[in-house]
Amino acid sequence: MTTLPESTTRKLGLVIDLDTCVGCHACVVSCKGWNTENYGAPLSDQNAYDGAGSGTFLNRVHSYEVQPLATSEMPHPAAQLIHFPKSCLHCEDAPCVTVCPTGASYKRVEDGIVLVNESDCIGCGLCAWACPYGARELDAAEGVMKKCTLCVDRIYNENLPEVDRAPACVRTCPAGARHFGDFADPESNVSKLTAERGGMDLMPEQETKPVNKYLPPRPKDQMDHAGDIDILAPFLEPVMEEPKGFLGWLDKALEKI
């Protein structure tokens, strides 16, 4: 079994805004593209042009329907659809690392990124079993475990312009729903966003201390609140009752311009 570092200098990770994610899969494919060409073995695809097709992805978007409970104010709340991107959360207490029999899985001391050293990976799959989030995928062609590297080969890459030294998923996200930074720094953009918007751990009861945080969707369908119309009613106060009255109002209103 493999030990975790006692602490890491930085805690790099992602903030994913569930209020803004439109479920477009841009992050999914950008990740697939970068990581097929870069770190370790390519992300392979089986039945690429037949059957159902299935390949290795380090990041996937799942969509869930949510039915809010009825309240006296909203007796018939509309169902909602939440898009939920999911990749490795680079946990502080990463069970995928401690379960690894060869030391191939490890957490980096300097930034907390959890990586797989593919040359030491025997493809036993214990780490995928240990991960409560289903964030690791065994590549069917290469027989090694693949996972999000937080684009460790982008974020420090001196061959990239500084502005591009971010994970591929963050750089490409059209809605700006993904943010990258250091959670060990309370002044970082990710720390501030987490504080302002009530960023949450995924399945905290698993005690993995995930580094990535999710910003919850803002309350929806507030216009369906009984009573809202009373607050807004003054904006619709009729200026007249009959069409003729409208013309009278019009004349007076024009005088004021």
Angle at 49 between CA 43 and CA 53, to 5 degrees: 55
The candidate with the shortest Cα–Cα distance to 89, out of 136, 122, 21, is: 136
CB of 237 to another protein, least distance (A): 6
Q: Is 72 in the site for another protein (CB under 8 A)?
A: no
CB of 146 to another protein, least distance (A): 12
Which residue in the set 87, 172, 188, 191 belongs to the binding site for another protein (CB under 8 A)?
172
Retrieve residue 168's tokens. 């591929």
Retrieve residue 64's tokens. 């869930």
CB of 201 to another protein, least distance (A): 22
Count of residues of this chain found to bind another protein when the rule CB under 8 A is applied: 104
Which residue in the set 78, 122, 195, 203 belongs to the binding site for another protein (CB under 8 A)?
78
Contact 183, 172 (CB under 8 A): no
CB of 200 to another protein, least distance (A): 18
Which residue in the set 142, 184, 200, 206 belongs to the binding site for another protein (CB under 8 A)?
142
Q: Is 103 in the site for another protein (CB under 8 A)?
A: yes
Give the three-state DSSP class for 15.
strand
Q: Which amino acid, one-letter code, is at 193?
A: L
Q: Is 218 in the site for another protein (CB under 8 A)?
A: yes
Q: Is 206 in the site for another protein (CB under 8 A)?
A: no
Which residue in the set 74, 84, 99, 108 belongs to the binding site for another protein (CB under 8 A)?
108
Q: Which amino acid, one-letter code, is at 114?
A: V
Torsion sign across C-alpha atoms 220, 224, 226, 231:
positive
Distances (CA, A) of 197 to 4, 49, 77, 162, 192: 30, 43, 23, 28, 8
Return the half-sphere exposure (C-beta side, CA atoms, 13 A cut-off) of residue 99. 15
CB of 37 to another protein, least distance (A): 5
Q: Is 235 in the site for another protein (CB under 8 A)?
A: yes
Which of these ranges, 86-94, 127-135, 154-162, 206-214, lies near another protein under the rule CB under 8 A? 154-162
